[in-house]
With several copies, the nearest count.
Chain A
Amino acid sequence: MRYTARDLATRALRRGPSQQETHLMVLTPDFDTRPVISFQHVWKTYPTGTEALRDVNLVVPEGDFVFLVGPSGAGKSTLVRLLIREEKPTKGKIFVDGIELGRMKRRQLPKYRRKVGLVFQDFKLLPNLTVYENVAFALRVHGEAEHTIHSRAAEALDTVGLAGKENSLPANLSGGEQQRVAIARALVHAPRFIIADEPTGNLDPATAWEIMQLFLRINARGATVVMATHNREIVDLLRRRVVAIDAGQVARDDRSGRYHDDLSKSQIRAQ
């Protein structure tokens, strides 16, 4: 099922807000209908021969909130890596903000990436920098002034619940704490796009839920969010757009979806 920008425009109207969603709905913005991300017949084959993505088509309008779900090894992280041009597609085109990523000059790349807030599945913190410096780094590449950096980094760390750990090195943090540093770094410069790969994998449900609130709030302020996740509870609770990837293909694209479509879900439960 293809998902078009027009669908989105009428989304708020069509969906009857459930009880649980009421307080979230307040934060949900009206959608601009301009598609900011679009995948056109994208294939990705790794040098090892693995076909990670096969003919993926996907349109994400500005301000959308997309969950990428799917089994381990389906190709979710690959899709994310293409989106930030860590990898180039083997075939097909990817447009972000009207620019084709494959045609982007090497020199433009840093500028592009600064517009994006990234959370990686393996955190990718700088091991030689403290927690504070890791978060501040995302502001330094913007050339922000020292006092701006200081106040914004401190605020971001406070938001993810890491006030007091500023001077620790990543190696001296628990898994969940490292993940929260990665999230703080992605959010600190208020990016227009947030691309998060499994941001709650190492968090307990309560912390995970708090972090999700944060993503929703930033989305409400207009940022587009693409998030790969295995957290069934959160996906099922939020009822946002769900794109299911399976064996490198888009298997499902629901406007207000669940983690499993109803058929497969019952199968899993029956195991």
Chain B
Amino acid sequence: MIYRNLRFALNSAWQSFWRNLAVSMAAVLSITLILILAGINLLVGHAFSQVLDGFRAKVSEISINVADGTPLQSVYDFQQQLSTDPRVSGVRFITKDEALVQFKADPNNLVLAQQIEGNPLDAKLEVRVTRLDDVAAIDTLARRWPGVDPTNPTNYQGDFVNRMLELSSWLGVAGVGLLAILVVVSIVIVMNTIRTAVYHRRKEIEVMKLVGATEWFVRGPFVIEGVMTGLIAAAFALALLVIAYEPAVDRFRSDVAFIPLSYDPAFVASLARDLLVGGALLGALGSYIGVRRYVRL
């Protein structure tokens, strides 16, 4: 009996979908567009986190300039102190000579390199800090170290990093906010689409009830139709996103070369899962809420 009812619900959802094709396609189109937006959001979020990881890695390195004439033992001691610090993941010592080689190797410095007499460059300690938040503390530590070059102590741009941190946390909040708005918008729109459809079929629902159908018998086909609509929309959205994903990444990479965005095929699978599940849930919830009001006896 439950099997029979389920089969009936499936059948009649299917038929209703095709018989009201205009309305069905309207719903599919709306949901598709919303899921595309959601998908873009997920993709951009993923790309952003990829890029941010790279950025964090870069900014969480600081180099400490060592004043000329600092005893080597003092530098080693400080290097030792830093490398045992739990906040630091690595320290590398670069001698004055190494620094000069690096400087001359940079084609930007071609003209300047010829003017240099002797070696005006500092030796430096390159420190890799584990957490971005701790870079400021390490910088303070370095500036208190007597061996630091007072005119040009570190390459740490406190302001800049702090600003980036502020901004990125704000962007994070804004991103979550936008996602929340998008979710609310999509649920409301799906609910509206389906509620409108159901509103205009309330006479039909009334007739079904008059003929003795139970509430779930009436609801079933509507909910299944909603799930169907959601899945079809998700499939469309997914197809478009998958087609557009790789070219968009390529394009971005060639335009904005310095951001290490990469095409991530593994992410497509998780995107597919999210979109299909999301579409089905959206459809089911939308029709359930849409139909509930009119199904009450």
Contact = CB atoms under 8 A, between A and B. Distances in A.
Direct A/B contact, Cβ within 8 angstroms: yes
Given A109-B297, A143-B1, A145-B4, A137 B20 contact: no
A269 interface: no
Contacts of A128: 15-16, 19-20, 204
A168 to B, nearest CB: 13
B262 interface: no
Interface string B1-33: 100110010001001100110000000000000
A14 interface: no
Contacts of A137: 208, 211, 213
A49 interface: no
A113 interface: yes
Contact of B213 (A84, A125, A141): A141
Interface of B: 1, 4-5, 8, 12, 15-16, 19-20, 203-204, 206-215, 217, 296-297
Contacts of B4: 140, 143, 145-146
Nearest to A81: B210
Interface string A108-123: 0111111010101000
Q: What 3 A-B pairs come out closest when comparing CB atoms?
A: A114-B212, A113-B212, A143-B1
Contacts of A54: none
Interface of A: 84, 86, 106, 109-114, 116, 118, 120, 124-129, 137-138, 140-143, 145-146, 185
A182 to B, nearest CB: 10
A235 B151 CA distance: 115
Given A106-B297, A128-B15, A128-B16, A141 B212 contact: yes
Contact of A124 (B207, B214, B215): B207
B212 A110 contact: yes
A110 B209 contact: yes
A114 B16 CA distance: 24
A255 to B, nearest CB: 31
A113 B211 contact: yes
Given A143-B1, A143-B4, A143-B5, A127 B213 contact: no
Contacts of B5: 140, 143
Contacts of B207: 124-126
Best-buried of A114, A141, A145 by chain B (most CB within 10 Å):
A141
A118 B15 contact: no
12 contacts: A86-B210, A109-B209, A111-B212, A112-B212, A113-B211, A124-B206, A137-B208, A141-B212, A141-B214, A142-B212, A143-B4, A185-B211
B198 to A, nearest CB: 13
A84 B210 contact: yes
B4 to A, nearest CB: 6
Contact of A126 (B208, B217, B296): B208
A128 B197 CA distance: 13
